[in-house]
Amino acid sequence: MPVSEKIAQAAIEAMKGGYACDSCIGRLAAELLSGFSNAERGKILRAYVAMLLDAGENIDVDKSNFYGVKFRHAKVDAAKPGKCRICKGFFSERVDELAKAVAKKTKDYEFRTFLIGTVVSPELAKAEEELWHNAGVEFVEPIKNEINREVGKRVERLVHKKFDLKMPDIVAVLDLAHDRIVLQTRSVYLYGRYQKLVRGMPQTKWLCRECKGKGCPRCKGKGKMYETSVQENIEPPLLKAAKAKESRMHGSGREDIDVRCLGWRPFIIEMVRPMVRTLDLRKLQSQVNRSRKVKVRGLKLAGKKDVEEVKSARYDKTYRAEVVFEKKLDDKLLRAARKLQGVTLKQRTPQRVAHRRADLVRSRKVKKLQLRKLGSRKLEVKLTGEAGVYVKEFISGDNGRTEPNLATALKNKVKKIQLDVMKICV
Ligand SMILES: [Zn+2]
Ligand SMILES: [Zn+2]
């Protein structure tokens, strides 16, 4: 079939068995020419088919498609058309209504850019599929693209914000199958560094294993495993300012629950579904710092792409531990143990995390090691190690899983370790 016929035939197929609106006809040639809306393309094609009719060609289409067309030669009895048989009147009736609904729904949100997404109803999907089957798909555009664009243009005019395909602040999903609009708001990400000044606190909110947050006897109705967390110390002023209900904490590694972090650990906190995006970070930082358990500094705006970077960064760290041994410390052995500075440890996955991590042997270097007696059984250990060094296991030996180790070097056994992260070498 020559291409001229192909294009006319596509329009004719659209007009078979009922009225088709300009948009639905024009969408079949959406890939041809720019600077036209599909409705304009449809108008042209309708006129072209009308010309063929007027020239005497016998074409099997529903004549209501030519209501109001003035033929010179052909006798066409065009009844007043009903709704478009393909979009069921969507482009004539619903586009404005949906644009207004989006404008209303986003009214209380701060945003600069938006995008429209559409989930078409099963009826629309079926009508489109049938049309493509009969009319061909060479130059078509999916109906949802046209809905997104047409509603988007109107929303732009209503709310004076920009339609943005790349990184919209808000996506309004027109769920035509369920006749509802769902807003998806891009998270606001804040980078900062934190200090954790107390022990016995995890980095992130940790829901109760038993009830998953509902509250049960195990968690005494709190719904979580620990009273609070670094996240819960940081988030309250941020959630309030961003009018968000939930945050996600992305730390650059994490210290154990019983370990303090006196060095400043990089993190990103993500405000999920925020209604406000412009935040006074200096003010928020000082509000967070009213907490006695957690301090933050260097709070600044970040992006989603920074999350992976922060999470995967590997920094050397300096630790300080106070270790209590079972027996008195031997000064000669202590002097010998100082030679462990510079050693590369072979560390099998510690027993305490073996249930959730693969059992393998890691090599990590102890770059600096200082040992100082604080009492007959008490030792201060200052250690700078490569990222990922298991410090407690280096001290205790972890039943021979870390070699070499301090306990073996001192021919002693560890009773207690209190550990602090002193410095994160960013
Ligand atoms: Zn239509
Ligand atoms: Zn519970």
> Which ligand lies nearest the alpha carbon of 83?
1
Measure CA 69 to chain center.
Answer: 52
Structure tokens at 308: 């992976």
Domain boundaries, the chain: 93-124+140-185, 188-312, 317-424
How far CA 152 is from CA of 96, 146, 172, 175, 254, in Å, comes to 10, 9, 10, 15, 43
Distance 85 CA to ligand 1 centre (A): 7
DSSP state, residue 340 = G
Mean pLDDT throughout 126-151?
95
Mean pLDDT throughout 154-167?
96
DSSP state, residue 94 = I
* Distance in angstroms (rounded) separating the CA atoms of residues 347 and 147: 58
Distance 88 CA to ligand 1 centre (A): 6
3-state SS assignment for residue 191: strand
Please report, as a single letter, which amino acid is at residue 242.
A
Structure tokens at 230: 């670094």
| Ligand 2 ion: Cβ-proximal residues, 5 Å cutoff | 208, 210-211, 216, 218-219
β-strands 162-163, 113-119 pairing: parallel
> Model confidence over 163-192: pLDDT tens digits?
999 999 999 999 999 999 999 999 999 999
Architecture of the domain defined by 317-424: 2-Layer Sandwich (3.30)
> Which ligand lies nearest the alpha carbon of 223?
2
Mean pLDDT throughout 132-159?
96
- Kindly give the residue spans of alpha helices, DSSP state H, lying in 82-142: 95-105, 122-135
DSSP symbols for 219-253: TTTSSBSSS--HHHHHHHHHHHHHT-SEEEEEESS
Asked if residue 230 lies in contact with residue 204, where contact means CB atoms within 8 angstroms, the answer is: yes
- Is residue 204 left, alpha or beta, with left meaning phi > 0 and alpha meaning psi from -120 to 50? beta
Distance 21 CA to ligand 1 centre (A): 4
Q: What is the largest CA-CA distance in the chain?
A: 116
Common-topology check for domains 188-312 and 317-424: yes
**Phi then psi dihedrals of residue 272, to 5 deg:** -90, 135
Structure tokens at 157: 């005019």
Spell out the CATH class of 93-124+140-185: alpha beta
Q: In this predicted structure, what is the pLDDT of residue 208?
A: 92
Number of H helices, E strands in the chain: 12, 14
Catalytic residue numbers, as ranges: 256
Its pTM stands at 0.86
Distance 124 CA to ligand 1 centre (A): 10
> Model confidence over 299-348: pLDDT tens digits?
999 999 999 999 999 999 999 999 999 999 999 999 999 999 999 999 99
By C-alpha distance, which of 89, 86, 67 is closest to 78?
67
How far CA 338 is from CA of 29, 367, 417, in Å, comes to 79, 12, 18
Spell out the CATH class of 188-312: alpha beta
> Which ligand lies nearest the alpha carbon of 15?
1
